[in-house]
């Protein structure tokens, strides 16, 4: 159904503000936001989308209040424990990009178990960006390439865009065609900055806990109506959608 749309990435923003507008603690918004994420994942799988990346926890989020960070880790652990079998049944392959080594041991274990359970699935490739920052990702890729040059495995003039991409956390996954950000903010916030070079950007005013399948479909329709030039003669997305 979505041959020309291979990868959608989503910055799920607005949980805290949504809760505060209702006189609730920020954690209330995170719980509602997790439920919305589940709906969007299920819908993406039903649409036969190949790749979906969700920005769940940035490297900067570690600087939030300790209680909020602890709750987010608890929520993530509960999600993996509860949903891993459901992901597997839906033929979804689960992965994580980010500095997983910085996560609590129990979360690392749950990530490993869910990856192993779903690694041979052939449906939606679902990636959570957790403890993720694009600048740090690029730094780590540069360090890996520098180490190869130092060891004589690579020459400086052999460093190319492809070799950099191959050393990013997203290696093997096509760059996002469409990046959606909710809550009215219009910036990438250190998310997939290398990969987003030619992505279409869609900024929704809707706070993430209010986001719906209809909103997601509207973003896809926006993408399908764009003219994709890539610096050349335009390529219009003439694909039909639902």
Domain extent listing, the chain: 7-133+175-236
Tokens 């065609």, residue?
Answer: 177
Rounded to 5 degrees, what are φ and ψ at 89? -65, -30
Given a cut of 80, whether residue 174 has pLDDT beyond it is yes
Q: Which of 46, 51, 61, 210 is catalytic?
A: 61
CB atoms within 10 A of CB 88: 16
Q: How many CA atoms lie within 13 A of 185 on its CB side?
A: 16
Instruction: Specify the CATH class of 7-133+175-236 in words.
Output: alpha beta
Give catalytic status of residue 61 as yes or no: yes
Q: Which of 13, 95, 175, 177 is catalytic?
A: 13
The residue among 159, 165, 134, 132 whose CA lies nearest residue 145 is: 159
The residue among 132, 85, 89, 90 whose CA lies nearest residue 113 is: 85
The whole-number average pLDDT for the span 199-209 is 98
The DSSP H or E segment spanning 180 is: strand 178-181
pLDDT of amino acid 4: 84
Helix, strand, coil share of the chain (percent; to 5): 50, 15, 35
CA separation for the pair 189, 11 (Å, rounded):
9
Rounded to 5 degrees, what are φ and ψ at 131? 55, 45
Given a cut of 60, whether residue 234 has pLDDT beyond it is no
Verdict on whether the full-model pTM lies above 0.75: yes
Given a cut of 70, whether residue 8 has pLDDT beyond it is yes
Give catalytic status of residue 46 as yes or no: no
The whole-number average pLDDT for the span 204-218 is 98
CA separation for the pair 130, 99 (Å, rounded):
7
CA separation for the pair 42, 213 (Å, rounded):
10
pLDDT of amino acid 227: 73
pLDDT of amino acid 100: 96
The whole-number average pLDDT for the span 103-125 is 97
pLDDT of amino acid 15: 97
The whole-number average pLDDT for the span 187-216 is 98
The residue among 211, 50, 75 whose CA lies nearest residue 127 is: 50
CA separation for the pair 29, 169 (Å, rounded):
29
Given a cut of 80, whether residue 73 has pLDDT beyond it is yes
């Amino acid at each position: 159904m979505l041959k020309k749309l291979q990868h959608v990435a989503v910055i799920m923003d607005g949980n805290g503000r949504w809760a505060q507008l209702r006189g609730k603690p920020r954690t209330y918004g995170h719980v509602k936001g997790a439920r919305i994420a589940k709906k969007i994942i299920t819908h993406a799988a039903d649409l036969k989308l190949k790749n979906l990346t969700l920005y769940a926890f940035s490297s900067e989020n570690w600087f939030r209040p300790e209680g909020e960070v602890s709750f987010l880790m608890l929520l993530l652990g509960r999600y993996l424990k509860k949903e891993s079998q459901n992901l597997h049944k839906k033929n979804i392959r689960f992965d994580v990009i980010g500095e997983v080594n910085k996560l609590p041991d129990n979360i690392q274990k749950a990530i490993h178990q869910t990856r192993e359970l779903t690694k041979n699935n052939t449906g939606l490739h679902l990636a959570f960006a957790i403890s993720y920052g694009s600048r740090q990702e690029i730094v780590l890729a540069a360090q890996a390439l520098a180490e190869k040059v130092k060891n004589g495995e690579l020459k400086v003039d052999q460093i190319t865009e492809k070799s950099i991409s191959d050393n990013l956390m997203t290696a093997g996954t096509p760059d996002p065609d469409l990046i959606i950000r909710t809550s009215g903010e219009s910036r990438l916030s250190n998310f997939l900055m290398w990969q987003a070079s030619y992505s279409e950007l869609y900024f929704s005013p809707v706070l993430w806990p209010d986001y719906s399948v209809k909103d997601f479909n509207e973003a896809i329709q926006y993408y399908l109506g764009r003219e994709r030039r890539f610096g050349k003669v335009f390529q219009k997305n003439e694909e039909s959608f639902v």
